[in-house]
Structure 1
Amino acid sequence: MGGYRVLDALKDRTRLGECLDAAGNLTPEGEERLAAALTHFQALGAAAGVPDVQVYATSALREAPNGEAVAARIRERTGIYPVIISGEREGQLTYLGAAHSVDFGPDNLLLDLGGGSLELARGGPEQAQDVLSVPLGAIRMTRAHLHHDPPTKAEVRAVQDAVRAALAPHAARFRVQPGTHVVLSSGTAEAAAALIAAQGDSVPGSVNGLSLTTADLGALLERTRSLSAARRTRLPGLERRADTVVAGLAVLHAALETLGATRATVSEGALREGMLIEELGRHAAYAAGLSARQRSVLGAAERFGANLAHARHVTALARDLLTRLEEAGEASAPEARSLLTAAAGLHEVGQIVAQSSHHKHGAYLIRHAGLRGFSPREIELVAQLARYHRKSGPKLSHPEYAALSTPDRTLVARLAAVLRVADGLDRSHAGQVRLLALTRSPSGWTLALSGANPLDLAGARDKADLWAREFGPLTLKAEQPGEEAMLGA
C-alpha cells in the first residue's frame, strides 16, 4: 500500500451535539454549521484539484430522527452527501487510523471520544475485531450533568457513575490484560497529553505517541474542574474546548479505571486517517488486479480527473451484477465483462468538460483517449456504454447506436442496464453498498443489498428503467427494514 503526503489541513469544529432540540432533531443552526463547514472543505479541495469530497457523519446525525433528511438537504445545497455511519463502523475506521499513527501490538484497546459517543475497539496490529459504541460523548455528558461553572464534584461523579454503569455490561470484553496496549484518540486526549507534558506555558508541537497515566489524567481532571470556563480557556490547548473538557476528561478517566488501565498512549490518527488508509488500500488492491488493457483504462480515468473511488466501486457493483445475472441464466457475450469494466471505470470522465451532458462528453473522450488493448469496435462499445449510463437509454433515433450491428445493439442495451443500476447504487459516492443476492421470480427480479442509504436507493430507482426494459422489473430489498422500493416499470 502506498503512503500519502498531507498537502493541507483544515479543522472546523461544528459541535453538532449542541444543536439538538428536545426531540433530538438537528436544529436549523446545526444544519447551517454543517453546510458552512462542508462548503469550506469543498473550496479547499477544489483549490487542490480534488474531484470529490468524502464525508462521514457520526453521532449527531446518526441519532437525530431527521438525520437522513438533513443529509439530503445538505447534498442539495453543497453537492456533498454526508454519509451517516454506524458507531461500529466509526470505531473500525478510527482503529485503522490509530494503528497507522502509533505502534500497535498483538492486543490493543482503543478509546475514541467524540462529542456524542465513546467508541471502544479491540484488535490486533491492523484491524479491530470487537467494537462498542456508547452514548458517552463530551458534549452529551456536559449537557446532561454539568450545570455549574465551575462544575461541582458531585456533577463530575455523576458523569463518571454514568460511564461505569454504561461500561459495566461490557467490561469483560474490553478489560485490560497483561500486554494490552491502551490507546486514546480524541481532541480531549490530545489536549490532556499536551497539558501534562507542557513545560511552563508551552505545549509540544505534536502529542502523537505520548504516554500518560490514569493517575495523571485524574489529577488534570480535578485541576480543570476547579477552574471556571473562562480560566480554562487560558490553558494552552483548551481555547476551543474549555466548556466540554471536564466532562471529556471525566469520561476517559472513568473508562480507563473501569477497564483496569493504568497507562495509555495518545494517537493523533483517528477517523479521518482511517478513511484515507482504507481508501488507499482499496485502490492498491484494485490496481494490482487489473489487466494491461484495464490499466490503460485506469490511466485514462486518472488523466481525465475521474473520481477513482466512485469509479472503482461502480465497477465492482456492475461486475457483481453481471455475474449474478449470468448465474440466474441470462447469457452474455464473452467480451461483456471486459467492456463493462472499462465503461464503469470511465463512465464519468466527461465531467472534466462539464457536468451538463457529461455522458455525451465522456463518450467523445473515450473514443479519442487512445485506450490500449481494445479494438476500434470495442472502443466504440465502451464509449456507448458510458454514453448510456445516465439520461435516456439507447434508441434507434441515436445515430451512433443505430449504426451498430443488431448483436452489438443488444449487448450495449443489456450492459448499459447493468451499469445504470450499479451507478445509481453509489449515488452518494459513499462506496458502502454490497450485493447480497439477486433472484428471479415470475414477477421480476429482487436484489438484496447491504449498506445502502436513502440516496443510493433513490439513485437505483431513477436508473432502473433500462433494466426493466431489458430484463424485467427490479425490486431492491435493503438490509435495513423499511428500505424496500419497487424499481422500473
Structure 2
Amino acid sequence: MRVAVADVGTNSSHLLIAEALPGETGDYRVIDALKDRTRLGECLDADGTLNPEGEDRLASALTRFRELASAAGVGDVRVYATSALREAPNGPEVAERMRERTGLYPAVISGVREGELTYLGVAQSVELGADNVLLDLGGGSLEFVRGDEAQARDVLSLPLGAIRMSRAYPETGKAGGRATVDAVGAHVRGALEPHAGRFRARPGTRFVLSSGTAEAAAEAIALRRGEGGSAINGTRLTLAELAQLLADLARQRPAARARVPGVERRADIIVGGLSVLHAALSLLGAQEVVVSEGALREGMLVEELARFQNFSSGLSTRQRSVLATAGRFGVNLAHAGQVAELSRGLLEKLLQNGELFPAEARSLLTAAAALHESGQIVSQSAHHKHSAYLIRHAGLRGFSPQEVELIALLARYHRKSPPKASHPEYQVLAPEHRALIARLAAILRVADGLDRAHAGSTELVELRRGAGGWALSVRGATPLDLAGARDKGDLWMREFGPLELQG
C-alpha cells in the first residue's frame, strides 16, 4: 500500500510519499518527498486573511503534490493545514477553492492535533524516554508537547511562530543586537509563563526540537564544531550553543547572515525563530536538546498506515479479497477504509436504536464501501455506474452471485440517483433485497459524505432517535465533511426519517 500526505504551513508545505513494508510492524519506505517554500506568511493581510497571491502559491504547491503522487501510483493526498489557514478568517473558503482548483482539500487541524501528530512523527525519528518535552516551531505557532515513549500526554499551542514573531518584531530581520532578542524573549516568556509548569524540566526529561529553524541551527552549530556533513536528525545541542549562535546572528547585517552556512534560506526569520526557542527553553529549564527531522508529515504518515492496518486486520478472508480488488482498481484505500468504518459504525448505531437488518448486512456494506469508488479507474463521470460494472466482473472470492449483485448495486447508489422502480437491476430484486439495498445505500451515502474532504478525521459520537427524526453527533469533521453528509442525506430521510448533524 502506498500513501501520500502533505502539510501546509505558514512558511513551507511538504509532501511525503511512502509505501508500507510487508508485515504488521508499521514500517514504511519513503518513495519521494517534496518541499515547496510557499511562504504563506508573506501573503497574510493585517487581519490574517490569505490574499490572492497566497492562494496562487498554495494552489501551485498542491498541484505539484497531486501530480507527483499520481506519478507514484497514489490516487489521493491527505493534506492538513496548520496555523496560516487555521487562523485566517477566509480559511474555510480558501480550502474549498483549493479543492476546486487542484482536487486536494487542505483540512485545517487544531494546534493540539498538530502537536499530537508531530509528536508521533518525532517518535519515529529520535529515541524518546519516559518523559519528553517537544517544542515544534512553525511559522505561525509554537506547539509544546509532553509525552512518553509512545504518545503525547499534554499539548499546548501558542501563537509564537517564527514568521509571526519576525513580523511583530521587524528589527529581527536587521542587525538589531541584544535589544531585539530581549524584546522577543520577553514576549515569549509572558505568553508561556502561565503554562510553564506543565512543561518544565523534571529529572530525566528529554527536550526535543522539531522545525526548520532547529534544523538550521543544528547545521550551523555542527559546522562550528567541525562536524560538517553529518546528519541533522538526532543532533544534540546545548542551550549555551544556541545562545551563542543567536547572539552572533543578531549582530550581523542581513546580507552577512544570509552567507552563514545552514541558515542561508531562513536569514530573514532565523533571529526571530531562535529568539523564541531560546526564551522558551530557558524558561522551561532545558540545558540540552535533540533535533528531530521527523515532524507533522511523518506523524500523518504513521497514523495513515496504522489506520489502514487496523481496518484491514479486522477483515474476514473474503473481505480481504475485496481489499485486494480495491487495490487492483487503484482505489484510494485510505478513503475507502474510512468510509467503511463510518458505514459500519452507523449500521451498529442503527441496530442499537432498534432498526432491524439481516446478518449479512455488515459484510455487504463493508465490501461496497471499500469498492464504491473503483469505477474512477474508468472515469470520474458516472463512476458509480462504472463501479457497479467492475464489481460484477471482478471475480470477488467468497461471495455468492447474488451477494456480488447486491454489493454492486450498493456501490451504484452511493451517489447521484437513489434506487428507483425504473432501474431494471434494482426492480428485478426480491422485495426484501430492494428494501435492504435502499437502507444500506442510505448509510453508505452519509458515510461517504462524512469523508468528503478525504481528511479521515470524522468520528461518530452518538446517534439518537427522537420524535422529529435522528440526531447524529460527530467530532473531527471538516466543514466540507458536514456539508457532504447533509447533501447526501436524501436517501436516509426517505428510509429512516430526517437526519440532523451535530459536529
- The TM-score with structure 1 as length reference comes to 0.96
Correspondence for 1:467: 492
Question: Residue 236 in 1 paired to residue 261 in 2?
Answer: yes
1:198 alignment partner, SS class: helix
CA offset at residue 51 of structure 1?
0.5
Q: What is the aligned counterpart of 2:219 among 166, 190, 194?
A: 194
CA offset at residue 201 of structure 1?
9.0
Percent of residue pairs bearing the same amino acid type: 65
CA offset at residue 132 of structure 1?
0.4
Correspondence for 1:64: 88
Amino acid at match of 1:116: G
Q: What is the aligned counterpart of 1:404 among 414, 429, 454?
A: 429
Correspondence for 2:40: 16
Q: Mind listing any 5+ residue stretches in structure 1 that lack a counterpart?
A: 479-489
Amino acid at match of 1:224: L
Correspondence for 1:85: 109
Distance 1:356 1:201, change over 3 A: farther
Amino acid at match of 1:76: E
Equivalences for residues 373-392 of structure 1 within 5 A:
373-392=398-417
Correspondence for 2:391: 366
Q: Mind listing any 5+ residue stretches in structure 2 that lack a counterpart?
A: 1-24
Correspondence for 1:485: none
**Residue pair 1:232, 1:242 contacting (<8 A) in 2 also:** yes
Q: What is the aligned counterpart of 1:210 among 217, 235, 242?
A: 235
With 288-297 and 211-220 compared, the bigger mean Cα shift is at 288-297
Amino acid at match of 1:352: I
**Residue pair 2:458, 2:475 contacting (<8 A) in 1 also:** yes
Correspondence for 1:26: 50
Distance 2:267 2:300 in 1: 28
With 445-454 and 86-95 compared, the bigger mean Cα shift is at 445-454
Distance 2:229 2:152 in 1: 30
Distance 1:138 1:213 in 2: 20
2:482 alignment partner, SS class: helix
Q: What is the aligned counterpart of 2:352 among 317, 321, 327?
A: 327
CA offset at residue 331 of structure 1?
0.6
**Residue pair 2:177, 2:247 contacting (<8 A) in 1 also:** no
Question: Residue 54 in 1 paired to residue 78 in 2?
Answer: yes
CA RMSD, 1 decimal: 1.2
Correspondence for 1:439: 464
**Residue pair 1:146, 1:155 contacting (<8 A) in 2 also:** no
CA offset at residue 29 of structure 1?
1.3
1:6 alignment partner, SS class: strand
Equivalences for residues 268-307 of structure 1 within 5 A:
268-307=293-332
**Residue pair 2:239, 2:289 contacting (<8 A) in 1 also:** yes
Correspondence for 1:158: 183
Q: Could you give the per-residue CA deviations for residues 319-377 of structure 1, whole angstroms, max 9, x where no partner exists? A: 11111111111111111111001101111111111111111111111111111111110
Distance 1:95 1:288 in 2: 25
CA offset at residue 151 of structure 1?
2.2
Q: What is the aligned counterpart of 2:169 among 126, 129, 145?
A: 145
Correspondence for 2:21: none
Q: Could you give the per-residue CA deviations for residues 40-62 of structure 1, whole angstroms, max 9, x where no partner exists? A: 11111111111101110000110
Amino acid at match of 1:380: E
Distance 2:176 2:322 in 1: 61
Amino acid at match of 1:30: G
Q: Could you give the per-residue CA deviations for residues 375-422 of structure 1, whole angstroms, max 9, x where no partner exists? A: 110010000000000010111111111111111000000000000000
Q: What is the aligned counterpart of 1:261 among 276, 286, 300?
A: 286
Q: What is the aligned counterpart of 2:62 among 38, 42, 61?
A: 38
CA offset at residue 200 of structure 1?
8.7
1:155 alignment partner, SS class: helix
Distance 2:477 2:294 in 1: 28
Distance 1:335 1:40 in 2: 43
Q: Could you give the per-residue CA deviations for residues 179-203 of structure 1, whole angstroms, max 9, x where no partner exists? A: 1111000011011011111169984
1:472 alignment partner, SS class: coil
Question: Residue 429 in 1 paired to residue 458 in 2?
Answer: no
Correspondence for 2:16: none
**Residue pair 1:94, 1:273 contacting (<8 A) in 2 also:** yes
Q: Could you give the per-residue CA deviations for residues 1-42 of structure 1, whole angstroms, max 9, x where no partner exists? A: 331111111101212122111111111111111111111111
Q: What is the aligned counterpart of 2:194 among 169, 182, 192?
A: 169
Amino acid at match of 2:438: A
Correspondence for 1:484: none
**Residue pair 2:220, 2:263 contacting (<8 A) in 1 also:** no
CA offset at residue 248 of structure 1?
0.6
2:294 alignment partner, SS class: coil
Q: Could you give the per-residue CA deviations for residues 163-184 of structure 1, whole angstroms, max 9, x where no partner exists? A: 1111101111100111111100
**Residue pair 1:195, 1:236 contacting (<8 A) in 2 also:** yes
Correspondence for 1:73: 97
Distance 1:472 1:162 in 2: 54
**Residue pair 1:347, 1:386 contacting (<8 A) in 2 also:** yes
Q: Could you give the per-residue CA deviations for residues 227-248 of structure 1, whole angstroms, max 9, x where no partner exists? A: 1222111122222211000011
Distance 1:292 1:271 in 2: 34
Aligned residues between the structures: 478
Distance 1:322 1:397 in 2: 27
Equivalences for residues 113-152 of structure 1 within 5 A:
113-147=137-171, 149-152=174-177
1:435 alignment partner, SS class: strand
Correspondence for 2:22: none
**Residue pair 1:145, 1:156 contacting (<8 A) in 2 also:** no
- The TM-score with structure 2 as length reference comes to 0.93
Q: What is the aligned counterpart of 1:112 among 120, 123, 136?
A: 136
**Residue pair 1:97, 1:277 contacting (<8 A) in 2 also:** yes
1:240 alignment partner, SS class: helix
Distance 1:242 1:16 in 2: 17
Q: Which runs of 4+ in 1 moved over 6 A?
A: none
